[in-house]
Amino acid sequence: PTVVFIDPHGSEHAVEAPDGRSLMQVAIDHAVPGILGDCGGVCSCATCHGYVDPAFLDQLPPRSETEVFMLEGVPDLRGNSRLCCQIRMQPALAGMRIQLPDEQV
Ligand code: FES
């Protein structure tokens, strides 16, 4: 399955996302600009912030307490803000689009 990251400049990156891999790792694997993943995916840096396609929100696991806490520090928090390291690819997410913010923390 693929997902599409939209970088801060508006360029789309359709990338292969193996089931079970975190979307942060998928973006890093493909050198998508606009996402950092500084903490390696343990929900302690918030540099993997993205805005997920609202149509997929109810397919995603809810934000954990830690994710909610970390998201409080991002520059432009929205209802569809998620930390990409906390979302594992699964078949239901095929085709999901993730807009990356203008700046990471
Ligand atoms: Fe650090 Fe996601 S990679 S919070």
**pLDDT tens for each residue of 16-73:** 999 999 999 999 999 999 999 999 999 999 999 999 999 999 999 999 999 999 999 9
Put simply, whether the predicted model's pTM sits higher than 0.80 gets the answer yes
* Any ligand 1 atom below 6 A from CB of 35: no
Q: How much distance in Å is there from the Cα of 38 to the middle of ligand 1?
A: 6
* Any ligand 1 atom below 6 A from CB of 105: no
Where does the pLDDT of residue 76 fall: very low under 50, low under 70, confident under 90, or very high at 90 and above?
very high
77: burial class by Cβ within 10 Å (0-12, 13-18, 19+)? Answer: middle
Where does the pLDDT of residue 87 fall: very low under 50, low under 70, confident under 90, or very high at 90 and above?
very high
Q: What is the pLDDT of residue 46?
A: 98
From the CA of 46, give the closest atom in ligand 1.
4
E-strand ranges in the chain read 2-6, 12-16, 49-52, 81-83, 97-99
Q: Which fold does the domain 2-99 belong to in CATH?
A: Ubiquitin-like (UB roll) (3.10.20)
